[in-house]
Structure 1
Amino acid sequence: MNRPDPDRDLLRRARRTLAVRHTLVMAVILLGVGAVALVVVAHEERAALAASVRQTAATEEDVVDPPAGSWIFRLDAAGVLTATEDPPPGFPDRPALTRVRSGGPAEETEIGGYLMITRRHGDATVQVVGSLAAQQAETRRLLAALGGAELLGLAAAIVAALLLARRATAPLGDALARQRRFVADASHELRTPIAQLHTRAQLLDQELRAGASAEDLTPDARRLVAAARQLGEIVEDLLLSTQLENRAEIGAEVDLGVLADGVVAAFRQRSRSRRIELSLNLDPDRPSTVHGRAAALRRVLTTLLDNAFNHTEPGGHIAVELGNLDGPPRVQLTVRDDGTGFDPADAERLFDRFARGHDDHRRFGLGLALAREVVTGHGGTIEAHRGPAGGATFTIRLPVSRPADARAGRPRRTGPASR
């Protein structure tokens, strides 16, 4: 039975809430627009009918051939009533004719779906009745059309609301995913080194209580320091994995030559103690400035060099090379070793988080996966290759920043660094 995912439920509720609110807002807007259109059209049609009835009452001299949907009733000075054929039931309104004929003011009323105007016209009293049936039919047609448009608009609003809600909650989903991944990574990566560090600290404490000499304690103390350093590196990797700012556009100008020189210098002591030859080859005449985050790129190179030292035996050689590629101008940074290498089938799996090797024995950690995330975030690529005679080569390609003036203001390099 699958356990419910609270983060996924949270995202679903957020999307549903946003979609419902957006849909309701759009529905209210559509209803308001439709109601205004209906009122305006109905008012205009009634005003047009009223103007036609008034015009007929003021100008018609007989009851023959009135405008369509209208009837004329004429009461002359002698009291004789003439009317248009087939008048609607209940008309004429004789009391209104009597009142106006007796000197009362003109009357305009609406009775049972008819607009009636009674007024004096010369010696006669005229009553014109206009039917509102055509206006009401047009209003019903308009209402049906607006209802259909409202439904289509509401359907479009629902689709748009769902899409907007999904896009609006995407950053939240990304943040929750990073949080989950950080917790999983931390629990996965920190459990073993913390246990080892605790065990070594306990052993060192026991030896101190037993009165061991400083000479006897030196190996354990060094192992304790190394374990603490490894734990710090893991924590640094985990923190780097949670950073949202690994994109190049929010960084600064970074000279990869200067950066590589500093990182290689930090590994000199390790290369001497391991008796591994470490070389740095730079091209002083080609631009090597990229736009990005120096700390993240430094961590990538540190990870690659650390990986090379972990798989290179004493007497081996590790080379860091920096050059350029034509076409779209790019800087190429290569870390090459002649160590144990890897199975070619694992070339892509190397960059997966906590993946296992092709033979299911070798395990890959977090460092190379983070390296690819950083390089990809800087608009570059990273590849791994096994040499024909063994060893491993990692190649990073990053777009050159401002190739015309990339060298302005940066330190002058005189040639390949000494080994």
Structure 2
Amino acid sequence: MNYLSVPNATKADRILVVDDAPDNVLLVQTILEEEGYEISTAENGFSALSQIDKSAPDLVLLDVMMPGMDGYEVTKRIRQNKELPFIPILLITAHDSASVVQGLDMGADDFIRKPVEMDELLARVRSLLRLKHSVDERNSIALQREDFVSRLAHDLRTPLVAADRMLTLMQQGALGEISPQMSDAFGTMVRSNKNLIALVNMLLEVYRYEAGRKSLSFAPVDLRQLITEVAEELAALADVKNLSVNLDLSESAESAPIAKYPGDRLELHRLLTNLIGNAIKFTDSGSIDVSLKAANSPAYTSFKNQPLAWVIIQIQDTGPGISAAEQTKLFERFSSGTHKTSGTGLGLHLCRQIVEAHRGTIHVESELGKGSLFTIRLPC
């Protein structure tokens, strides 16, 4: 579609003109409507924000100097509203370059000085609308790609689950007696199929988080009990490699948040399983140490100016360590590292999504040959 020739477009671009001077509004409105744009107007910042909340325009043409709420504040509030699509903002200013810098820092995309030259105004409007359409097209393609991945993963899961049930039945001899060699072969097939199911499930979870379609159910969680449960579930994997899994679970008087942490138990279980499982997977000898404690941090205060309580979970391994270069992208999607047993690169990315959904942080400290320490901080 050629957006340079607006009258030929299938849908006219909508521009919101915000200015407290009626003469300026009328002039700009007349010029832009002659070019085929659909124009709405607002005489102050409050009215502009109200209109934008009801129906987002394709471009905002915004005067800087207005009573009540100036153009900088309007720009700031538009950019703070994460529910809005991308809306280019063109500031009109009569001030010096310092005001331009302030406007751009607030999130404006371009500016034009008074007195306004109409040819320049039209050129800047066309330029910003091209940017708007480019961003919208990119976002549309990204959404289509994510939807395709979600549908593909969902469609893959159905036959994999069916195959898992059938293979398990065959391994158990439900369809007839099988030889020891066939039993071993079925065992390999069952394990491989379960790995595929786990991969597809993880891909679906990553998609749900990134698409904003993940719903969490928050309730009091006993983190001591949860960590103990995960460690017991993974004990067999550690035993195969002769690794010890050591738990240090706080029992102090300050540990009340640990017993009733407000979180999603299923997602926290997934988080701990991924991290402790990774520690076992990448460690060939030594131990995995998991610690849990509550602490107050004076660096972060609540609305009553009191130190916030934090739950801190640390997982230390004696594995090969992670290079500084790999640490910088460790939690990115599909960043699988260079270790021989590295996976798809989705597990740690999903861990970060879960932690951030609980408004916490996760980071790693590691040195090659000296193991890795993952630290999770969850605010109470």
In which range does the TM-score fall when normalised by the shorter chain? 0.5 to 0.7
Give the 5 Å matches for 1:256-295: 256-285=223-252, 286-287=255-256, 288=258, 289-295=260-266
Tell me, yes or no, if structure 1 residue 165 matches structure 2 residue 56: yes
Deviation at 1:189, TM superposition (A): 12
Identity of aligned residues (%): 24
Please name the residue that 2:125 is paired with: none
| 2:295 corresponding residue in structure 1 | 325
Q: Identify the match of residue 238 of structure 1 among 182, 203, 213.
A: 203
Write the mapping of 1:256-405 to structure 2, written as runs, cut at 5 A. 256-285=223-252, 286-287=255-256, 288=258, 289-313=260-284, 315-327=285-297, 328-355=308-335, 357=337, 365-387=345-367, 389-400=369-380
| Preserved contact between residue 308 and residue 337 of structure 1 (Cα < 8 Å) | yes
RMSD, aligned CA: 4.8
Decide which moves more: 330-339 or 383-392.
383-392
Report the 3-state secondary structure (helix = DSSP H, G, I; strand = E; otherwise coil) of the residue aligned with 2:355.
helix
The answer to whether residue 147 in structure 2 is matched with residue 214 in structure 1 is no
Q: Cα offset for 1:222?
A: 2.0
AA at the equivalent of 1:318? I
Cα distance in 1 for residues equivalent to 2:295 and 2:139 = 34
Q: How far did residue 269 of structure 1 move? A: 2.3
The CA deviation at 1:396 is 0.6
Q: CA 1:340/1:326 → structure 2, altered by over 3 Å: closer, same or farther?
A: same
Check conservation: 2:220, 2:261, Cα contact below 8 A.
yes
- Partner residue, 1:251: 218
In our comparison, the structure showing a higher alpha carbon Rg is 1
Q: Deviations over 1:205-225 (max 9, x none)?
A: 9xx9xx995221233222222
With the length of structure 1 as denominator, give the TM-score of the two structures. 0.49
How far residue 170 of structure 1 moved from its aligned partner, in angstroms, is: 4.0
Distance 1:190 1:305, change over 3 A: farther
CA distance in 1, matches of 2:296, 2:194: 40
Q: Which amino acid aligns with 2:352?
A: R
- CA 1:235 to 1:361, structure 2 compared with 1: closer, same or farther past 3 Å? closer
Tell me which amino acid in the other structure corresponds to 1:264: A
Q: Provide the C-alpha distance between the structure 2 equivalents of 1:279 and 1:361, rounded to a whole number of angstroms.
A: 23
Structure 1 segments unaligned to the other structure (5+ residues): 5-12, 28-144, 401-419
Question: Any gaps of 5 or more consecutive residues in structure 2?
Answer: 2-8, 30-38, 58-80, 87-135, 298-307
Is the 8 Å Cα contact of residues 333 and 349 (structure 2) preserved in structure 1?
A: yes
CA contact (8 A) 1:332 1:398 kept: yes
Distance 2:355 2:144 in 1: 21
The TM-score, its normalising length taken from structure 2, stands at 0.54
Whole-angstrom distance in 2 between the partners of 1:344 and 1:262: 32
Contact 2:323–2:367 (CA under 8 A) maintained in structure 1: no
Q: Using a 3 Å threshold, how does the CA distance of structure 1 residues 228 and 361 change in structure 2: closer, same or farther?
A: closer
1:175 Cα deviation (Å)? Answer: 9.8
Q: Which has the higher contact order (CA 8 A, sep 6+)?
A: 1
For 1:227 and 1:361, how far apart are their aligned partners in 2?
Answer: 15
Amino acid at match of 1:303: N
